Structure 1
């Protein structure tokens, strides 16, 4: 594991060099947002999990920033929204949702 204390763009340069032509993955929404703003993200792989994290970090939060349009890479309609619908699971039977 390597820890860096440099600009995000410099960290990407170092990571790409170390990866030797393989993919570099970023698992931090705050660093991901910085790289997205600098045009240093090639793809975004989103995994939707049916869990609400409470005080978690918003995905690529950028108050006042311009919207970033995304194109689907799986051959689907690139402008289509993906709608997912869940119902909260009851953890305490005395507090039923229905």
Structure 2
């Protein structure tokens, strides 16, 4: 696969946008760290696996709301905020 990307300047830095399909082909995505090196005049990018201990933990809504039942006692403006269905990407 050969993709042409143009180097541009953004806030004083040189930036190259890497297409999703190119990153996917090396198993990389948003947030993936890349080891960059020059080999035979070419830039080589290798994804660095993130150790399990450093991965961001996803929390369930119940975990996030532990103790939240006491919020209306502290601030009456949040009364009823815990009622209703999930509205985002939170886990069940």
TM-score greater than 0.5 by the shorter chain: no
Structure showing the higher strand proportion among its residues: 2
Which structure's relative contact order is higher, taking Cα pairs within 8 Å and 6+ residues apart? Answer: 1
Quick check: which has more Rg, 1 or 2? 2
